[in-house]
Amino acid sequence: MADALSLNGASGGNSSRARFQAEAGERGIRALLSGAAGTSVLCVAGILGFLAWFSLPLLQPGQLAAVLSWTWQPTSGRFGILPMAVGSLLLASSAMLLAFPLGLGLALFVNGLGPRVLAKHLGALVRLMSGVPTVVYGLASMFLLVPLVRASFTGTSGFSWLAAMLVLALLVLPTVTLVLDGQLRLVAPELRLTTAALGLSEAQSLVRLALPQCGQGLKAAAALGFGRAIGDTLIALMLSGNAAQVPHSPLDSLRALTAHIALVLATDSQSQAYGSLFACGLVLFGVSLAVNLGLRALRRGPRRAALSAHSDRPLPGLETAATGLAWASALLVPAALAALLGFLLLRGLPTVSLALFFGDTLPLDALLHGAPVFDGLWPACLGTLWLVGLAALFAVPVGLAGGIHLAEFATGRAARLAAFCVDLLAGVPSILMGLFGFALILLLRRTFWPSANTCLLLSALCLALLVLPYLVSATRAALAGLPQELRLTCAALGLSRWQAVRRVLLPAARQGILGGVVLALGRATEDTAVILLTGVVAGAGRPGALTDKFEALPFTIYYLAAEHQTPQELNLAFGAALTLLALTLALFALARRLSDGAWRPGT
Amino acid sequence: MRKPLLPTLLTLVLCALPAYAGELDAFAGKSGKIDIAGGTAHIPVMKEAAKRIMQKAPGVRITVAGGGSGVGVQKVGEGLVNIGNTGRALTEAEVAKYGLKSYAFAIDGVAAVVNPKNPVGALTHQQVQDIFAGKIANWKQLGGRDAAIHLYTRDEASGTREVFWEIMLKKGQIAPSANVVASNGAMKTALAGDADGIGYVSIGHIDQTIKAPALDGVHPSQENAKSGKYPVLRKLYMNTKGEPTGIVASFISYIQGPEGAAITASDGYIPTK
């Protein structure tokens, strides 16, 4: 900061007043930027504060013991949340146990253990997977996997720990794979020449040398995947059966904390059941905090393990085992994905028609004159469009400004706190954003805004919270990825820090930032858990006002999957799933293209 | 509470019968919104009524959400919706706490239901209790095929659950291993897909995709529920916070009126009037 000012001073000049104004302007802009970065701190503090505030009644004598018990039977006054806490842990850990080796296998496959031509396609497939909405996985699994589990084993309805675990593993797989892939990409190339010169095969080089150096990457992948798994609501809600018990076998039904919040939020807002939900929220928040702290500790640790540490362990057959794992993953994962998405296409494609969107209303009437549409997806499409648009309106300016601040201006403790809060916010389960929004409305109604209600605006605000950290991180990373020489050149030309950011750095980082924005849009489009608690309904028609209830595609899928009264309504769900999938895949593909085209020297 | 009105209303209903379409005129030219949430047995009736009203009066917006009776009470009590539906009578505490008014519009039984492929066609009261408590765990014990029984129940916000639990299960235990679904519609969907499942739904939701075994020799039908032969029944209510006004009052009259009654009947319930 000081050097920028002195540089400006050194540029000398006769119009000191103009310079003073420019400096004041720059200070104003910087204040705005740091304010934006501070928003993430406020958000985290707000969510935590709400959870703690509403959990407070539990601190009365005997209450805490009642909540930390093993029986959930509100009708007989028992509000134990431990079965759900155990359910969440079991579900997330088991999903990780499955996803981690598969992810490792995929990462090894694309980094040299598989044929190059396949590796390229597999890499694309994994990235595509990260664009599949959870509710779409949920729908396809409900009608393909659950009946399969029911038919394959005796004594299970199919809605089980096993079914939820398998799909959840698929859901977190891209996260695990992409982190590991990123790590291997960092270390493998520089080792390749050396190991080739030593006469080692590619497999030996990868497994014996590159992988041991990725120790932190392995742990980071596990932590991130676990955080994603435990924070998911829809898979657990749709597939696990939701019995409030500790399961005895993978074929039993279980209830996760996130699904529990979604199921029970409904109850009387002054009851113990309601209070215990915030305890669930605190537990979930605690888990994401722990995951985050773990990740930070990893980042601070020594960057690489010593090479020699592993040379004295021969472990014969390691290469064969790794190659086997890589091939098994490369076959299993695409097969599972093809089964689910193939099923979706099979059921969804025949439903695609104008009637899918407009029901029995004339499309032109609906489009031009706003004629109401019943039994069609049009209102839900419009609702999603409004929702994502509004969320972007709130989140994009704040996220970009926060990212710029963290990348270019922030220093010291405040900056570290802001960065930490951004990471933490990214790990907070989306259902907590919804819980936050719902509790906020209740609080507002009881205090100074008696007519506050769950509505489109509230959902958009909560969704903005959800995508804010993606925007900050993407902007920050895009700016941080620019070569340092750019900044030096700007300074040497006498540009102030903000001038440098605005005229040179931001244009140079444009594509990376845009990629982040599009990715955030995709995330907002597919989320179901947030809107579930903040104002979405099954039948609202076209979105009218910001304070109205609304329809949205992901909720329509969730609702119709469980509630369809006729085969036609179920078809509507598959049609909606296909529409949503097309939408998010397009957004993710676009984000990918933009990020790929990010800064390269010479452009 | 509206009993004195009943004879008058009945006469009105009879007089108005030939003029069904006229009832929607109460909404013509009106605008405003009605948010409805709660009881899930109500949803088909509410949605159909909403559709007819909104087609007639484009300025009126009606949203229909579920959640269960507990949600209905809570949301209407907190003022989050205009009408909170319940599939059970309100408790005195609920009425006192929120100042709610109830408007019944249908009689509805609650029946244990199974998949149509299930050969078991009759159960006793005691058997149903033992099944849900987990004491009878295989269909073979009931004369069915050799397969484990998959239990399905509803979340605690459900009025259907409450009625079933109080009258059918005599407040007996429901095994904690039972799968939990969030609505009557979801229960029906789950059982339509699970040949070894058993759950319970509003009789109005029973169609060819699920089957209700006779209870102690009585076929669970709305007629038998109304005549008192089938014991597990309740009324479906719409509840408002204080006296309803404007289009909310019109909506309630519409549902309770002849066209509402026709919708109610065509969705498988018995209109109260």
pLDDT digits (tens, 9 = 90+) for A85-103: 999 999 999 999 999 999 9
- DSSP string computed for A331-395: HHHHHHHHHHHHHHHHHHGGG-SHHHHHTTS-HHHHHHH-----SSSHHHHHHHHHHHHHHHHHH
The secondary structure of residue B218, as a DSSP letter, is: B
The domain locations on chain A are 84-307+318-345, 378-478+506-596
Which pLDDT score, from 0 to 100, does residue A314 have?
65
State both tokens at A345: 């296409």
CB pairs under 8 A between A and B: 126
What is the widest separation between alpha-carbon atoms in chain B?
61
For B39, the closest chain A residue by CA position comes to A266
Rounded-to-integer distance, Cα A221 and Cα A210, Å: 16
Q: What is the pLDDT of residues A129-185, one digit of tens each?
A: 988 999 999 999 999 999 999 999 988 999 999 999 999 999 999 999 999 998 888
Collapsed DSSP state (helix, strand, coil) of residue A120: helix
Which pLDDT score, from 0 to 100, does residue B115 have?
96
* Cβ distance of A266 and B178 shorter than 8 Å: no
Rounded-to-integer distance, Cα A587 and Cα A256, Å: 30
| pLDDT over 70 percentage in chain A | 93
Q: Are strands B60-67 and B32-38 parallel, antiparallel or unpaired?
A: parallel
Q: How many CA atoms lie within 13 A of A189 on its CB side?
A: 5
Encoded amino acid at B47, one letter: K
Q: What is the pLDDT of residues A415-434, one digit of tens each?
A: 888 989 999 998 899 999 99
Q: Is the pLDDT of residue A12 over 50?
A: no
Q: What is the pLDDT of residues A268-281, one digit of tens each?
A: 555 677 778 899 99
**Looking at domain A378-478+506-596, what is its CATH homologous superfamily?**
MetI-like (1.10.3720.10)
User: Which residue of A365, A563, A574 to mutate against B (max B Cβ within 10 Å)?
Assistant: A563
Q: Measured between alpha carbons, how far is residue A201 from residues A112, A153, A205, A209, A319 in Å?
A: 10, 44, 6, 11, 10
Residue A277 to chain B, least CA–CA distance (Å): 14
State both tokens at A209: 């040398």
Q: Give the residue-averaged pLDDT of B105-113.
A: 95
The two domains A84-307+318-345 and A378-478+506-596 share their CATH topology (first three levels equal):
yes
Q: Under 8 Å CB-to-CB from A503, ≥6 apart: which residues?
A: A490, A495
Rounded-to-integer distance, Cα A79 and Cα A71, Å: 6
Collapsed DSSP state (helix, strand, coil) of residue A185: helix
Q: What is the pLDDT of residues A14-60, one digit of tens each?
A: 567 777 887 888 889 989 998 998 888 898 899 999 888 888 887 78
| A 46-75 residues with CB < 8 A to B | 71-72, 74-75
Q: What is the pLDDT of residues B238-265, one digit of tens each?
A: 999 999 999 999 999 999 999 999 999 9
Q: What is the ipTM of this complex?
A: 0.84
Alpha helices in chain B (DSSP H): 6-16, 43-56, 69-78, 92-98, 125-133, 159-163, 184-193, 222-227, 246-256, 258-266
Q: Under 8 Å CB-to-CB from A434, ≥6 apart: which residues?
A: A462, A529, A530, A531, A532, A533, A534
Phi-psi region of B218 (alpha: psi -120 to 50; beta: other; left: phi over 0): beta
- Hey, what's the torsion of the CAs at A585, A519, A543, A263, to 10 degrees? 90
Q: What is the pLDDT of residues B20-67, one digit of tens each?
A: 556 788 888 888 889 999 998 898 899 999 989 988 888 898 998 888
Rounded-to-integer distance, Cα A470 and Cα A472, Å: 6
Nearest-CA neighbor of A253 among A265, A261, A244, A241?
A241
State both tokens at A581: 């999938």
**What's the distance, CA A290 to chain centroid?**
17
Q: Under 8 Å CB-to-CB from A73, ≥6 apart: which residues?
A: none
User: Which residue of B180, B181, B187, B208 to mutate against A (max A Cβ within 10 Å)?
Assistant: B180
Q: Is B18 exposed, middle or buried (0-12, 13-18, 19+ CB in 10 A)?
A: exposed
| A 225-264 residues with CB < 8 A to B | 241-245, 252-253, 255, 263-264
The separation between the first and the last C-alpha atoms of chain A, rounded to the nearest angstrom, is: 29
The torsion angles phi and psi of A385, rounded to 5 degrees, stand at: -60, -50
* Cβ distance of B33 and A266 shorter than 8 Å: no
pTM over 0.90: no
Q: Is the pLDDT of residue B71 over 60?
A: yes
A148 at B interface, C-beta within 8 A: no
For B182, the closest chain A residue by CA position comes to A263
The secondary structure of residue A309, as a DSSP letter, is: G
Q: Are strands B32-38 and B233-241 parallel, antiparallel or unpaired?
A: unpaired
Which pLDDT score, from 0 to 100, does residue A270 have?
58
Nearest-by-Cβ selection for B180 from A156, A242, A541? A242
* Cβ distance of B78 and A269 shorter than 8 Å: yes
Phi-psi region of A564 (alpha: psi -120 to 50; beta: other; left: phi over 0): beta
Nearest-by-Cβ selection for B176 from A147, A244, A563? A244
Residue A399 to chain B, least CA–CA distance (Å): 31
Rounded-to-integer distance, Cα A260 and Cα A502, Å: 47
Rounded-to-integer distance, Cα B113 and Cα B128, Å: 10
* Cβ distance of B152 and A273 shorter than 8 Å: no
Rounded-to-integer distance, Cα A366 and Cα A354, Å: 11
Report the CATH number of the A84-307+318-345 domain. Answer: 1.10.3720.10
Residue A147 to chain B, least CA–CA distance (Å): 8
Rounded-to-integer distance, Cα A53 and Cα A62, Å: 18
Nearest-CA neighbor of B136 among B164, B175, B186?
B175
Q: Are strands A72-73 and A78-79 parallel, antiparallel or unpaired?
A: antiparallel
